[in-house]
Structure formats: structure tokens, C-alpha cells
Amino acid sequence: MDIIVCIKRVPETAEADLVIDGTKKAIETDDLVYSINEWDNYAVEAAIQLKEAEGGTITVISVGPEENNEVLRRALAMGADEAIRLTDPAFEGSDAYAMAKVLAAAIKDMPHDLILTGVQADDDGFGATGVALAQMLGLPYAALVTDIKKEGDTLTVHRELEGGLEEVDTLKLPALLTIQTGINEPRYVSIMGIRRVAKKEIAAKGAADLGLSENDVGLNGSMSQIEELFFPPVGEGAEIIEGTMDEKAETLVKILKERGGIA
Amino acid sequence: MEKIAVLVEHRQDEVRDITFEMLGKAHQLVGEGGEVIALFLGDPSQKGLLDAITPHAHRVIAYLDTNLKNFEPLRYQAAFSQIFENVDCQLILMGQTAFGMDLAPAVAAKWEIPFTSDVVDIEASDGDLMAIRQMYSGKVNAKVSLKAGDKRLLTVRAGAFPAEDIPTVSGEVQEITGAVEGDFSARTFVEYLEAAVGDVDITQADIIVSVGRGIKDADNIPIAEELANALGGVVACSRPVADKKWLPKERQVGTSGKTVKPKVYIALGISGAFQHQAGMKNAGTIIAVNKDPKAPIFGIAHYGIVDDLFKVVPALTEKVKGIKG
């Protein structure tokens, strides 16, 4: 089975103090640490587990500058066979739709039985690229997948619905799945492992190589465009308890007693 | 905008709240003289569900076919190809839900309808619209414009708009009974699986001590358990903790887990993504402990401590044990 996994390199922002830059259309990224998008890491692991069971090849694809080779090499170290980087200044500003066009242009001529993406990316959070890509490639798909079983050319998948409910679907290969976090336990990547794939060649392809014009991609090829970034309005907010640790604990106990927090 | 169509979301014979949230926003956007259209796709046996929707839409277009009993994107798309020929509207709303995320991007790509996703607000200005959506896990908002088009499509975040107090209008129901045709065997719905029942039902607890990514390791869970035991409560968690299998899935609070309403909810090392907030915002008293003063959890908590949970929790546990003797 030939599996393609689309992965993204994103800034870690959970604990970072974000600053909106002078254009008001982006954040300052100089001080941020980048890593593989969390959902995509689960997708790579899912691909490796399928390959271990079924045989075949895994190709990882990422769109972005040379730094994206870091996440591609990380996926190679985990067990992917080949890596391709799609890169072109014209891709800048692409929304989920334009990004799906870039990926579709690259994937359509590659052998593929299964395509995996993460459900969403941690930076722009569209949750749309994978499903749009499936449509462009004419593949059946399922979003928010939390379990995959393969039998012949049929996949049985679980989709995560709301409230703990799951949906079971069958899909005929070739197909595309968007992978939800928690589907597996992604394997550890050692420094030795990364070193082993350090010399592996990663092909880079631009818009012209993919047969895409400037009107197909970037802002021109997007359906949506950021006009302005701003910080969300802050709610009323919590009353912050100050003092020494002992005083804080004392205040908390008082609040808990008043509010029924001690049974 | 004069005409807005809302795709009704229903599952297991129940209309989901997101539908009413979208209908309410649609009424606000079309204003006087505009038309809110509800698109209902379902099995003829599910017609009863229309009773809840008809009072809140000027027109309900009900596409009834035995092929449409369950949500299946290929069948919905086939129905859309007929609906789009008959329905005139400038904006289509779907939920950014397990249902809408599995459908909307494909519809947008197939019919090339300008689209963006996970919208938390929609602003109408000069006949055009701006969508407000969140980036970087809710830390930044983006005002987004859409390409020109006869129609636009947005998916709306669950809980972004109120589901109550939606204008009541006299809706007319227009039934379409033409068959949904095509080969849908490439993807087939099999069944729903209900959530596993755990040893502890967190939805019944009065006191919840909930842990997030900040707990750092499975080995640290007992710190929270000890506090919960001292208080007479139970331990729950946010998504990253369940994803890593540090606690079972049935302890997860949030959109894809449980919705809880305890008297007291203590959030330890939980940043407070909107999906988590959706599951606990109605708790009586919310106390948050987090090192990051900008963590979104402090926006909805009643009391907060900006400090290391590994210092706060043992100190608190000791005091509680002290008064309980």
C-alpha cells in the first residue's frame, strides 16, 4: 500500500506570548519554536502502523521553506520512506483551499492508495485542507478519524463525533483520512534516528514543476484572505488570588467551603 | 445579505443546538425583509424534526429521501447538486462540527464557493461580509474577507452564538422528494458507537479536579487524585491528557468528551481551549491554576492562581486534610 502523509511545520504557541506584527496580518515568529503539527504527528504514526501491518511505502509531503526539512526528516526517522517539499514564494498567503490545490497538483501524479492529513493545523486551524484535497483528487474521505482497520481494499474507520459518540464508516481505497489526536501513541524520535536520515535527499518542487500558475495559489488562488489580526476581547476574567503559597491555599480553602467545594 | 441558508444538523433523531445557533445569527444578519432558509436533508420518517425548525425559518426546504437517513457526505453532496439549482441565497452556513467539517470543505471545493471555516462571528458591512475566526488555538482573532461570488459558505463554531431567543416567524415548508441518485458505495455509514461507560461518571460529580497538559506526566496524576479525594470529588481531564492515555477517555471534559456542571471545577494546568470550555463553562465556581497568566482559562474562571500547580496543589491538599481532620 502506498501511503502519502501531508505534514505541516507550525510554531508552538500554547505557552508563548504572541505579538502581532506591523502588517497586522501576521504574528511575529522570530522568537517562536517550530515543530511538526500535533495532528500530523499522529497521522505519520498511523501510516507507519499500517505499513508495518500491510507493507508498502510512505511518502511525506510538506509545503514551505527549507526549514520544513526538519519535520520531513523527523518523519523519515519515524519510518517514512521518501520526503518531498513543495516550495515557492507564490504559495505565500494560501488558505486551506489554495493549499489543497498545491497538494493535489503534487499528489495526482504519485501512486497513492491512502492519503493521510491531520484534522487541522495548530496555527490557522482551518480543519479544511484534507477534505478539500480529497474532493480535488476525487477520493472518498472521512474526517476526524480515531481508528483505522484495513481488510482488502476496504477500510473500516471510526470518526469522532461530539459528546464521546463515534461513527463507524467503511471506505473503498484509494481514500483520504484526516487524523484526530489520540488515535495512537506516536513513537519517540531519537537524535540517532534523525542522524541516520540526515543525508537523505529531499526533493523540492515549485509552482512551475507542479503545473500551477500564480493565479492558482497564494492570495490569488485563495477563497479567503486575512484583513487584520487582533487579540480576542478579554472576558470579565478571574479574580486572581495573591499572597504567599500558604495564604493562597488558605484563601482557596475559604472559597471552597463557601462554594460547596468540600464534600 | 438578503437570503441566508442554514444546513440543519440532526443526529439520532435530534436537531442539534448548532442549528439554532446558526438560525439565530442568520436572522440577525438578514434583518427586516430578508429570508432565512433552513435546508433539511433526511429520511421521510424524520419529517417530525421539522417542527422544531419551521418556526425559526422563513422557508424550510426539506429534501426527503430514504438515502438521507444518516449523515453521509457523498449523499449530501448529491442532494446539494439539485438544491443549488433551486435555492437562491448569498450565504450558506454549516457547523464547524464533526458533520460540517466532513462536508463543507468538499462542497466549497466542488462548486468553488468562497469559503472559510470555524467562524466565531460574522459582520455584515456595505453588503459584504467579514468573518471573524480564531488562530493559534484561540490566542489571536483574524478578520477574514472572502472572494466575490454568488454564494459564500461559512462553517460556524459550536457555541459561538446563543441557541435561545431566536426570532419566531411563520415558515413555509417546501418538500423536495426527487431521488438522490449516484453510486455512494465508496463511503458507507455503518453504525454509531456510544461512549464507553467508565468506573466514575464525572457528569454526576459535585466537585471536579481536572488536569491538563500542565500535569506533564502520567506519574503526576496522583497529585490531583489526592486533592480530589480530600475534597470528596473526582478527577477529570482535558483532551491532551486523554490523548496521551494518562486518564481514560471517559474522564475527558469538552466538546468531544463530557459536558459537566459541578458545583466546583478546579482546572489544573489547563490552558482552556474553547473545546474544553464548552464542556465546563456552566460549572458553579471555576478555579484555575496555571503558570501562564494569559491562559484563556482565566477568561472564564471565577478565581485564579497564577503559579506552579506542583506547588499549589500539595499546599491546598494539606490544608483541606487539616480541616477535615
Q: What is the pLDDT of residues B88-119, one digit of tens each?
A: 899 999 999 999 999 999 999 999 999 999 99
Residue B146 has pLDDT above 80, yes or no: yes
Residue in chain A nearest B317 by alpha carbon: A249
What was the pLDDT predicted at A174?
98
Q: A235 pLDDT band (50/70/90 cuts)?
A: low
In contact, A118 and A61? CB cutoff 8 Å? no
> CA B23 to CA B120: how far, in whole Å?
14
Q: What is the pLDDT of residues A152-210, one digit of tens each?
A: 999 999 999 999 999 999 999 999 999 999 999 999 999 999 999 999 999 999 999 99
Q: Name the residue facing B101 among A127, A259, A260 (closest C-beta).
A: A127
B140 shares contact with chain A (CB less than 8 Å): yes
* Residue A110, all three cell numbers: 504519485
> CA A10 to CA B139: how far, in whole Å?
15
- Range B210-227 average pLDDT: 97
The domain covering B202-324 belongs, at the CATH homologous superfamily level, to TPP-binding domain (3.40.50.1220)
Q: What is the DSSP string of A62-96?
A: EESSGGGHHHHHHHHHHT-SEEEEE--GGGTT--H
What residue ranges of chain B are covered by domains with CATH 3.40.50.620?
A: 3-176
Beta-strand relationship, B207-211 and A154-160: unpaired
DSSP structure class, residue B66: G
Name which of B312, B137, B162 is nearest A251 in CA terms.
B312
In chain A, what residues touch B264 (CB-CB under 8 Å)? 256, 259-261
In CATH, the number for domain B3-176 is 3.40.50.620
Decide if B266 and A15 are in contact by the 8 Å CB cutoff: no
Best of B10, B94, B96, B101 to mutate (most A CBs within 10 Å, chain A): B101
* Residue A251, all three cell numbers: 484563601
Q: Mean pLDDT score of chain B, rounded to an integer? A: 94
- Taking residue A206's Cβ as centre, other Cβ atoms within 10 Å add up to 13
What was the pLDDT predicted at B11?
95
Chain A closest CA to B244's CA: distance in Å? 6
In chain A, what residues touch B304 (CB-CB under 8 Å)? 237-241
Decide if A232 and B134 are in contact by the 8 Å CB cutoff: yes
Q: A126 pLDDT band (50/70/90 cuts)?
A: very high
Q: Name the residue facing B319 among A119, A168, A249 (closest C-beta).
A: A249
Q: B138 pLDDT band (50/70/90 cuts)?
A: confident
Q: B83 pLDDT band (50/70/90 cuts)?
A: confident
Q: What is the DSSP string of B258-322?
A: B----SEEEEES----HHHHHHHTT-SEEEEE-S-TT-THHHH-SEEE-S-HHHHHHHHHHHHHH
What was the pLDDT predicted at B37?
97
DSSP structure class, residue B91: E
Task: Tell me which fold the domain A2-221 belongs to.
Answer: Rossmann fold (3.40.50)
Name which of B232, B231, B297, B303 is nearest B270 in CA terms.
B297
Angle at B250 between CA B249 and CA B256, to 5 degrees: 70
Class of residue A95 by CB neighbours under 10 A (exposed 0-12, middle 13-18, buried 19+):
buried
- Listed by start position, the domains of chain A span 2-221
Residue in chain A nearest B115 by alpha carbon: A223
Name which of B294, B293, B295, B292 is nearest B277 in CA terms.
B295
Residue B248 has pLDDT above 70, yes or no: yes
Least confident of A16-20, A231-235, B122-126, B215-219: A231-235
Q: What is the DSSP string of B157-221?
A: -TTSS-SSSPPP---EEEEE-----S--TTEEEEEEEPPPP-SS-GGG-SEEEEE-GGG-SGGGH
In chain A, what residues touch B207 (CB-CB under 8 Å)? 260-263
Residue A114 has pLDDT above 70, yes or no: yes
Q: Name the residue facing B305 among A96, A248, A259 (closest C-beta).
A: A248
In chain A, what residues touch B115 (CB-CB under 8 Å)? 97, 128, 223-224
Residue in chain B nearest A232 by alpha carbon: B141
Q: B325 pLDDT band (50/70/90 cuts)?
A: low
Q: What is the pLDDT of residues A27-50, one digit of tens each?
A: 999 999 999 999 999 999 999 999
The answer to ipTM > 0.90 is yes
In chain A, what residues touch B103 (CB-CB under 8 Å)? 131
Residue A237's region, left for phi above 0, alpha for psi from -120 to 50, else beta, is left
As a whole-number percent, the residues of chain A with pLDDT over 90 amount to: 94
Q: Name the residue facing A231 among B137, B140, B284 (closest C-beta).
A: B140
What was the pLDDT predicted at B197?
79
Q: Collapsing DSSP states into helix, strand and coil, what is residue A240? A: strand
